Amino acid sequence: MKPTDYPLLVIWSEEDQAYLARAIDLAGCVADGETPEAAIANAEIVIQQWLETAAELGRPIPEPLDDAKFRESLEAGVEAQQEEFVEAVSAAAREMVDAMLPQIINMARKRGHESASRPAHGAGLILRRRQLV
């Protein structure tokens, strides 16, 4: 395997104030640089060292992902992040509704709205759910 066979993910790191080039297939194989090009050049050196060290230690050396497998890997990662984001937003929305609903009902009661004595369909579901927890 040649270092240039391995796909790289290049990103800007605020924390490091540098571009980072990560060899997707090689655990912990990351290089940095002042420019994306410098990070890539440094990554080729680090990949070569990673491959040599793995061979010396008798560790398995993963095959580089081909284009199709690389795309599948990226898509799977994006889908997982989307699912985590949706779950986090849903949980935050439930917490916000749970926290705000009693205040809204009290405000409506103070204004004398008759409907405030019985919650709307969705609100009733939320109140019952909270009572069960």
The token pair that represents 100 in the structure block: 């705000």
Whether this model's pTM surpasses 0.75? no
Tokens 């909270």 belong to 130
Tens of pLDDT along 79-129? Answer: 888 888 888 898 888 888 888 888 888 888 888 755 545 555 554 444 444
Amino acid (one-letter) located at 110: K
Report the alpha-carbon distance of residue 11 to residue 27 in Å, rounded.
17
- CB under 8 Å to 20, separation ≥6 — which residues? 10, 11, 12, 13, 30, 31, 32, 39
